[in-house]
Amino acid sequence: MAQTSTAETNSELIGSHHGQVSAGDIAVGVIVGRTSEFFDFFVYAIASVIVFPKLIFPTHDPLVGTLYSFCIFALAFVARPFGSVLFMAIDRAYGRGAKLTIALFLLGTSTVAIAFLPGYGDIGAVAIWLLALARIGQGLALGGTWDGLPSLLALNAPRNRRGIYAMIPQLGAPIGLIVASALFAFFVANLSADDFLAWGWRYPFFVAFAINVVALFARLRIVVTPEFSKLYESGDLQPTRIRDTIKAEGRNVVIGAFAPLASFALFHMVTVFPLSWVFLFTHEGPARFLVIEAVSALFGIGAIVASGPLADRVGRRALLGGSAIAIATFSGFAPQLLDGGTVGEALFMVLGFILLGLSFGQSSGVVASSFSRRHRYTGSAITSDLAWMFGAGFAPLAALLLAGNFGLIAAGAYLLSGAACTLLALWIDGRRPAADRQPD
């Protein structure tokens, strides 16, 4: 039995005044936790487009500087699986509360370190290394923020409402984007270019640290509840060794890593990449497009919510496959929309977020349902790390590199490749004997 950490004890005292935590409380904890992670993610992503090319790579032209910035952006996704290995060991030795506390402390520290980062003009190339180090710290920390709450929701979901329960954790992505985009839009619109580059961009990183603190206590309050502890002790949410999980569930890990690639590729194609394209290749300021992103994300929230009952009606795998086909179709005309002025950009973002919501809303549910109960906690964490690395980590870099050299149509081809990977993974999964697959 894992030792009880001081953080867990303090959190239990806080939660004891509220009695047993309900399923609704668990859902709130999931949304708060995921929103904090995605807010950190989008704060860095937006800064990698409108801040770091000028602050850290001023000796290069804007396109090359942004490409270098996206290279550092990808480091977190490469580091994330290593973070899972490290923090799973901490989880087994000291408990989930200790793991979450250390991981979120590292995440907050790395985020605040970026807020204090000097520019290239102050310390030269050292600024690049410091930014890369902070980004790796964020990635390691994100590997440790897996708390098992989505798995807890999945394990307690009624058979006819699994899609609804699966979409709840995904709501954190558009909520985090809305807050991050609105915050940056406010500072960009109300500060001069010099003031924004000197100090205005740093405030969202301080806000990210504050949100992490709130999220830490919200999540700790959940993980020490009697329901969660019972599942943890019975082995249903026990962190198993990664080597044992891969040995037992290797096929599911591989399929789970590639099944959501269409939604993960689209994820960056409607968030980070279009901002970089508009910022680099049009005469429009970033504030207007950030507002378009925030408004479009509201459609994404609606689509994620709709994906729940829709998946319960047609099946999650069927919905993910159908969404992949729709995304493949979207890739054929999306470049023309993005290059079609304000109206075209708005249509691109709204349609993209609707498709993203339908597919992304169920991507984690399909992954988690493939694992046995014993390996679901660790297997879901590993698979999520790999899916984000392959499907999202290099997406902005690849899409901008292709679009910058061959035009927007090449970025559409990249999105098409993600849809093809999803359909292939689902086809391979569907060829397994029904007895080997978990219920949809």
Percent above pLDDT 70 for the chain: 84
pLDDT given at position 196: 95
Of 208, 197, 177, 385, nearest in space to 274 by CA: 177
**pLDDT tens-digit profile of 258-283?**
888 888 888 888 889 999 999 998 88
- Structure letter (DSSP) for residue 149: H
pLDDT, averaged across the chain: 84
Whether residue 7 is predicted with pLDDT greater than 80 in this model: the reply is no
**pLDDT tens-digit profile of 16-66?**
444 455 566 667 777 888 888 889 889 999 999 999 999 999 999 999 999
Tokens read off for 130:
């410091």
Of 313, 316, 355, nearest in space to 333 by CA: 355
Whether residue 14 is predicted with pLDDT greater than 60 in this model: the reply is no
Q: How far apart are CA 107 and CA 64, in angstroms?
A: 28
**pLDDT tens-digit profile of 360-373?**
888 766 666 677 77
Q: How confident is the model at residue 5 (pLDDT cuts 50, 70, 90)?
A: very low
Whether residue 69 is predicted with pLDDT greater than 90 in this model: the reply is yes
Burial 229-238 (b: 16+ CB within 10 A, else e): eebbeeebbb
pLDDT given at position 190: 94
Whether residue 2 is predicted with pLDDT greater than 50 in this model: the reply is no
Per-range mean pLDDT, top range of 209-218, 273-282, 430-439: 273-282
Q: How far apart are CA 242 and CA 85, in angstroms?
A: 7
Q: How far apart are CA 413 and CA 420, in angstroms?
A: 10
Quickly tell me which residue has 């993600």 as its tokens. Answer: 418
The per-residue DSSP string of 66-92 comes to HHHHHHHHHHHHHHHHHHHHHHHHHHH
pLDDT given at position 340: 84
Between 3.40.1440.10, 3.10.290.10, 1.20.1250.20, 3.40.50.150, what CATH number should domain 26-432 receive?
A: 1.20.1250.20
pTM across the whole model: 0.86
Quickly tell me which residue has 């729709």 as its tokens. Answer: 326
pLDDT given at position 120: 95
Please state the φ and ψ torsions of residue 125, each to the nearest 5 degrees.
-65, -15
Whether residue 358 is predicted with pLDDT greater than 60 in this model: the reply is yes
Whether residue 9 is predicted with pLDDT greater than 80 in this model: the reply is no
Quickly tell me which residue has 């930014």 as its tokens. Answer: 131
Task: Kindly give, in sequence order, each residue whose CB lies less than 8 Å from that of residue 243, ignoring residues fewer than 6 positions away.
Answer: none
Contact assessment for residue 362 and residue 319, using Cβ atoms and an 8 Å cutoff:
yes
**pLDDT tens-digit profile of 375-391?**
887 888 888 888 888 88
Whether residue 436 is predicted with pLDDT greater than 60 in this model: the reply is no
